[in-house]
Homo-oligomer: A and B are copies of this chain.
Amino acid sequence: MRKAFEVTVLGTSSATPTKYRHPSAHYVRLEGSYMLLDCGEGAQRQLSRYGLRVLKISHVFITHLHGDHYFGLPGLITSMALYGRTEPLVIVGPPALESILQVLIAESDSVLPYDLQYIQTQTESMETVVETEQFKVISVPLKHRVSCTGFLVQEKGPELKLNVDACVQYKVPVEQYEAIKMGADYHSQSQGVIANSLLTTPGYKNRTYAYITDTLYDPEYLVPILKGVDLLYHEATFLHDRADRAAETFHSTALQAAQIAQAANVKILMIGHFSARYNDAQPLLDEAQSVFVNTVEAVEGQTYAVGE
């Protein structure tokens, strides 16, 4: 069976929470790894409300220091301490985030029972900020009112399919099957090197989740970066009749998000980060679908698969 790769939306508002919406936070599960993209106020309670595993989260990625994207992080960090966390937590975000969090922790007179490890984002160029055996996360500088980066979460592989008949024929020991699936050749004493391509068939394509918020509409820059991603989350703060307001505030419209998705030929577009003026997101969804039919609305508590 294919590895799980899915996103649970915890917040869909922009700027201010509303009666119906929480600020930005996406919970990503990639097989055994759990991460959080942004952590708006209330994210920890949303996690518990939807039965998600708070302590499993190993990485938190913060796009920028507007409150609706990280004011839930101090509470998450202190709650993890109260829940008895001992595993380190990696926090990826703008440079000032570290000193902000350190002051809050110091003033609460607490010593965390686990390490916070900081990785600073920069806005000069794209960069691999985290790489594990399972996945790679790349920061993508965005044009917003303050320093801001989106993130590409990429599954690592190659995840090849084993050609069992060939393995039996070449007498590959079973304990080597995992290495073969990861791309290794088989070094046999009697047969010499058996190339991986003789022992496997092409596997699944690696999947990518792109988290693009907050940003000005910027197709020339964004489209090449987002080419062919499986699931693109792109902010859609306004309907297009407010394109001027979107440009002024360095945000995008639903139509613009769809134009990016269309030009980048992504599989699915998810829109969110809706202005508080829209209680009902249906008009935003309709507008995006008029350009790019495979658009879905980010709904709090719902989980979306990345790729098939």
- A interface vs B, CB < 8 Å? 15-19, 22-23, 41-42, 44-45, 48-49, 65-68, 71-72, 74-75, 78-79, 82-83, 94, 96, 99-100, 103-104, 107-109, 145-146
CB proximity of A127 to chain B, nearest CB, Å: 21
Given contacts A19-B48, A48-B18, contact A146 B109 (CB under 8 A): yes
Given contacts A67-B75, A103-B100, contact A83 B16 (CB under 8 A): yes
Asked if B104 and A49 make an inter-chain contact with CB atoms under 8 angstroms apart, the answer reads no
- Of the A-B pairs whose beta carbons lie under 8 Å apart in the complex, a sample of 22, sorted by A's number, is A15-B79, A16-B44, A16-B82, A17-B44, A17-B48, A17-B75, A19-B45, A23-B75, A41-B41, A41-B42, A41-B44, A41-B72, A41-B75, A42-B45, A65-B108, A67-B78, A67-B104, A71-B74, A94-B107, A96-B107, A99-B103, A109-B145
Q: For A40, give the chain B residue with the smallest CB separation.
A: B75
When distances are taken between beta carbons in the complex, the residues of chain B under 8 Å from A68 are 75
Complex-state Cα separation, A108 to B145, whole angstroms: 9
Not counting A41-B45, A94-B107, A108-B146, a sample of 14 additional A-B residue pairs whose C-beta atoms are within 8 angstroms of each other reads: A16-B44, A16-B79, A17-B45, A17-B48, A18-B45, A19-B45, A23-B75, A65-B107, A65-B109, A67-B75, A71-B74, A100-B107, A103-B103, A109-B145
Asked if A74 and B67 make an inter-chain contact with CB atoms under 8 angstroms apart, the answer reads yes
Q: For A144, give the chain B residue with the smallest CB separation.
A: B109
Complex-state Cα separation, A198 to B78, whole angstroms: 61
CB proximity of A47 to chain B, nearest CB, Å: 10
CB proximity of A125 to chain B, nearest CB, Å: 22
With a 10 A CB-CB cut-off, give which of A19, A42, A94, A109 has the most chain B CB atoms: A42
When distances are taken between beta carbons in the complex, the residues of chain B under 8 Å from A108 are 65-67, 146
Asked if B49 and A19 make an inter-chain contact with CB atoms under 8 angstroms apart, the answer reads yes
Q: For A97, give the chain B residue with the smallest CB separation.
A: B107
CB proximity of A144 to chain B, nearest CB, Å: 10
CB proximity of A149 to chain B, nearest CB, Å: 15
Q: For A146, give the chain B residue with the smallest CB separation.
A: B109
With a 10 A CB-CB cut-off, give which of A17, A82, A146 has the most chain B CB atoms: A17
When distances are taken between beta carbons in the complex, the residues of chain B under 8 Å from A23 are 75
The 5 tightest CB contacts between A and B, nearest first, are: A17-B45, A16-B79, A41-B75, A65-B107, A109-B146
Complex-state Cα separation, A41 to B19, whole angstroms: 15
Complex-state Cα separation, A16 to B47, whole angstroms: 12
When distances are taken between beta carbons in the complex, the residues of chain B under 8 Å from A18 are 45, 48
